Amino acid sequence: MVQANRRLVIKSAAAAVGAMSFAPGLMAQSAPVRIGYSMSRTGPWTGGAQVSQEPNYLLWAEQQNAAGGLDVKGVKRQIELISSDDRSDTETVVRTYEKLMGSDKV
């Protein structure tokens, strides 16, 4: 009898731990995938960057979202693009990516 109760307690505890570890994953999967990039919107590199790079990023995200989103571990998630002006300045590019990866969590 004691052995059966012990097994029941262990099984219940294992089920509870499993459910708690699974629940946060469900919430994260419904959130969009945030993808960040730096773009020269001002400065000497403006023309090439806005004409050749950004339209490709926007088109890709639009097509992926129209198809249901990006497949992440079997779950379709929408794409959210986060862009910043780097002013065609190398130091600004570095700071921008540090911010994107750090506080912006992309």
pLDDT value at residue 8? 42
pLDDT value at residue 46? 86
The SS3 of residue 23 is helix
* CATH of the structural domain 32-106, one choice from 3.50.40.10, 3.50.50.60, 3.90.320.10, 3.40.50.2300: 3.40.50.2300
- Mean per-residue pLDDT of the chain: 79
Handedness of CA 61, 62, 64, 70 (dihedral sign): positive
67-86: pLDDT as tens digits: 999 999 999 999 999 999 99
Q: What does pTM read for this prediction? A: 0.66
Task: Match 């919107």 to its residue by tokens.
Answer: 41
**Residues 32, 77: contact at Cβ < 8 Å?**
yes
**Residues 106, 81: contact at Cβ < 8 Å?**
no
pLDDT value at residue 70? 96
Measured CA to CA, the distance from residue 104 to residue 99 in angstroms comes to 6
